[in-house]
Amino acid sequence: MKRILYITLSLFFFFHCSSQTMNFSDMDVKNKDISGRYKNTELTIVRLLDRKVLKDTLDYTHFVSHFDITKDKHHIYFSLYQTNGKVVHRKYKYKERKGVYQLKNHNFKPLLVPYVFGAIDIRKLYLYRNIKGNLKIGNYEHRSGAMFIVGFLDGKSTYNMLEFEKIEN
C-alpha cells in the first residue's frame, strides 16, 4: 500500500513539474542572437527576473526604462537601467535549444513542505528574437500544493508572451 501511494505521488509530482510546449512561431530563424538594448514597459522585466518567492530581490521603487542583454557561452547578462541613474546587473545561466533560450533562474521553488503542508512553484522563462527583431519572453508559471496530501491538488498554470521593442543604438 505504501509503495502504491509513493508511486502515485511521485508520478503526480513529476507530471506537474513538466512544462507544456509553447508556440514560438514568429521566431527569426536567420538571426537568433538576443543581445541588444530593449525598451521596458512598466515593471515587467523586473517582475520576470525576480525569482524569490517569499521576498523580492530587485528594487521596485524606481522604474526601469530600458535594459541591455549580452551573453557568452554559459551566461546571459541583464543590465537594468533605472530612472535614478542606477544600473542593476543580473547574471543567469541558460540553456539554448533551436534559437530559444531558457533561463535557469531557480525554476523550481518549494514552499514549506510540498504536498504535506505547502506547495511547489515553477516558473520558466523562454527568450527569443522575433521576425521584427524584438525580444519575446514566454513566461510559464505553475503552482500546486496540498495540506496533508488532501485538498487543492489540481494546481494552477499560466502562460503568457511578452514583447519588448528593440532600441537601435
Question: pLDDT for 25-84, tens place per residue?
Answer: 777 767 788 899 999 876 678 778 776 655 555 556 667 788 999 999 999 999 988 888
**Highest-pLDDT range among 15-29, 79-93, 134-148:** 79-93
More confident residue, 140 or 150: 140
Question: pLDDT for 118-127, tens place per residue?
Answer: 788 888 899 9
Question: Does the pTM of the predicted model rise above 0.85?
Answer: no
Contacts of 24 (CB under 8 A, 6+ apart): 99, 100, 126, 128, 136, 138
Is 137 a residue whose pLDDT tops 70? Answer: yes
C-alpha cell at 133: 527583431
